[in-house]
Amino acid sequence: AMDAKLLADIPAAALQRRKTASLKAAEKKLPSPTSSPSHCSEADFELERRHGIQNQEAIDVVVSGTIQGARFEVAEPEVSWNGGLLIYAHGFRPRGHGLKVELRIDKGSCYRRLLDEGWIVAATSYRREGVILVDAMRDILNLREYVCSRYGEPREVIIEGQSMGGGIATLFAEEQHLVLWKRKFTGKEEKLEPGKHQKSLISGILAVGAALMWRQDAITEEEKKLKFTNVPKIPVLYLTNDSELGPIQKYVQKCREERTRISDDTPLPAIWTVARAGHNWTNQEERYRAVKSLCLWIKFGTFITARNLDGTIPTKLRESTAEFDPGELLDGKAANNSLNRVATGRVDRIKASGTIVTTFVQPDLKRLGLRLGSSFKAEVNGHNVSNVILDEYPFVRAKKGTWVAMFEPEEGLMLLSILGPYDNNTPADIVGRARAGDAVKIESFLPITTISSGKRGGKRSTSRLILQKAALLKGLNTTRCNE
């Protein structure tokens, strides 16, 4: 179950642990396929490469490759496979970003916990960027069949879709993928009988921040024919921020009306609300809890937890690791009496969208005197970004196309990104293809605003400047500063 290349890449200290894992893998009888899945030609399928990824003390075994132009990754559990398969369906990505697989399996993540429990976790990049629906469904079906050809038929299959991926997952719940499944093997357009193959294909759906509407001018003619039937056949759990509940509630209400009209006993979707403004603004603990509750729903055939629930779990903030230097400026000038201060941190990771996740936390920026709407300078990987706006959803302080900083809900880390859609160059590309571990510096520049002396045209006095500087350093509200 282990090949020579993987063994060569593993540190000596971890070999014994991997030998144990290899025996467990052998017990699972994981095959090593030498041909493409049955529905793909050799030209459409690139044999996967198996590689080890260092993760804390363990080595994660990840299988990757390409099927019909879509890249994929499959993470294998180190323990015996429990028969569970989760496929991640990502959201919209602008053209020019490249086909990237987003599969977070680092310590503490939702998928890491599932792997530790014996799940197989997989993800696809889809075969192209932009708005993609039908082809994305094909790529997910291809990935599912690949997993089956390698490991055997899963006991249950869950699709977790985010944003556009949540809309794609909803189409799966309505069994709109069955026409693709039928056409793939028979070439016929007829849809399969309702419920047929349902259990063997998809068991349940977790839709996070689902986008149930898409621009008609951005989709293909084939995709324009797609219409929601409002009759999901399998359990669907929507995990949605309270700022985006409207479209989800509207869909569930239509499902309720359609269910009454056709006298059908199909399950109504559940809505779990996250009391946090944003889009897909959820943390790993919230997603893990939703996955496990969905599993119970699938297993017992009834939603035994709650159909409407507050799914919010408070963010566990990471400890600050920033280093502060009140005298240093990025341009090398002395601080003098200005209120410039500098903090140094690191790049924690880069998201598939190119957003830079730093190690700075909210107390770090408060210590620099920064608050919502404040602007500051940043330096990433030796590249300067002159004007970054600290903002939060719905981002009314920053303008489209400008750099923006915000705090993510997982560990409260500061993100650096560009507001609005951006093509070709991602934020990470612009600053020299930033990667995890790169140094990040932020410089707060708090300009001393003019304080009226009470006389029209009066000048600022030294005492007022001193008072305002002292107030800023103490973190007080300095919108007005009285003598």
- Digits of tens for pLDDT over the chain (483 positions)? 333 333 333 333 333 333 333 334 433 444 444 344 544 444 455 545 555 554 444 556 899 999 999 999 999 999 999 999 999 999 998 887 789 999 999 988 999 999 999 999 999 999 999 899 999 999 999 999 999 999 999 999 999 999 999 999 999 999 887 766 655 544 455 444 444 434 458 999 999 999 998 877 788 888 888 889 999 999 999 999 999 999 999 999 999 999 888 877 788 999 999 999 999 999 999 999 999 999 999 998 877 556 788 999 998 899 999 999 865 445 545 444 445 589 999 999 999 889 999 999 999 999 999 999 999 999 998 899 989 999 999 999 999 899 999 999 999 999 999 998 766 678 999 999 999 999 999 998 765 443 344 444 444 444 444 444 444 444 444 333 333
The confidence score (pLDDT) of residue 199 equals 47
Taking alpha carbons only, the member of 343, 288, 346, 290 closest to residue 318 is: 346
The confidence score (pLDDT) of residue 11 equals 38
The confidence score (pLDDT) of residue 467 equals 44
Helix, strand, coil share (%) of the chain residues, nearest 5? 30, 25, 50
The confidence score (pLDDT) of residue 350 equals 93
Other beta carbons within 10 angstroms of residue 206's beta carbon come to 28
| Cα gap 210→372, rounded to integer Å | 28
The confidence score (pLDDT) of residue 331 equals 52
Beta carbons of 369 and 472 less than 8 angstroms apart: yes
The confidence score (pLDDT) of residue 480 equals 38
Question: At CA 127, angle to CA 124 and CA 131, rounded to 5?
Answer: 95
Cα 300 to the chain's mean position, in Å?
29
Taking alpha carbons only, the member of 44, 51, 90, 50 closest to residue 66 is: 44
Taking alpha carbons only, the member of 399, 361, 391 closest to residue 373 is: 391
Put the strands of the sheet holding 84-89 in their side by side order. 45-55, 58-67, 70-75, 120-124, 84-89, 156-162, 204-208, 236-241, 270-274, 308-310
CB within 8 A of 70, min separation 6: which ones?
A: 99, 124, 125, 126, 127, 139, 142, 143
| Cα gap 398→387, rounded to integer Å | 10
| Cα gap 133→172, rounded to integer Å | 11
Phi-psi region of 63 (alpha: psi -120 to 50; beta: other; left: phi over 0): beta
The confidence score (pLDDT) of residue 402 equals 92
| Cα gap 283→377, rounded to integer Å | 28
Question: What DSSP element (H or E) covers 199?
Answer: helix 198-201
The confidence score (pLDDT) of residue 44 equals 55
Query: Strands (DSSP E) along 262-322, which ranges?
Result: 270-274, 308-310
Beta carbons of 205 and 235 less than 8 angstroms apart: yes
The confidence score (pLDDT) of residue 325 equals 81
Beta carbons of 239 and 308 less than 8 angstroms apart: no
pTM for the model stands at 0.79
The confidence score (pLDDT) of residue 465 equals 43
The confidence score (pLDDT) of residue 45 equals 53
* Terminal C-alpha separation, the chain: 76
Q: Which residues of 18-38 are buried (b: 16+ CB within 10 A; e: fewer)?
A: beebbeebeebebeeeeebbe
| Cα gap 429→435, rounded to integer Å | 10
The confidence score (pLDDT) of residue 164 equals 95
> Residue 201 has which token pair?
């294909």
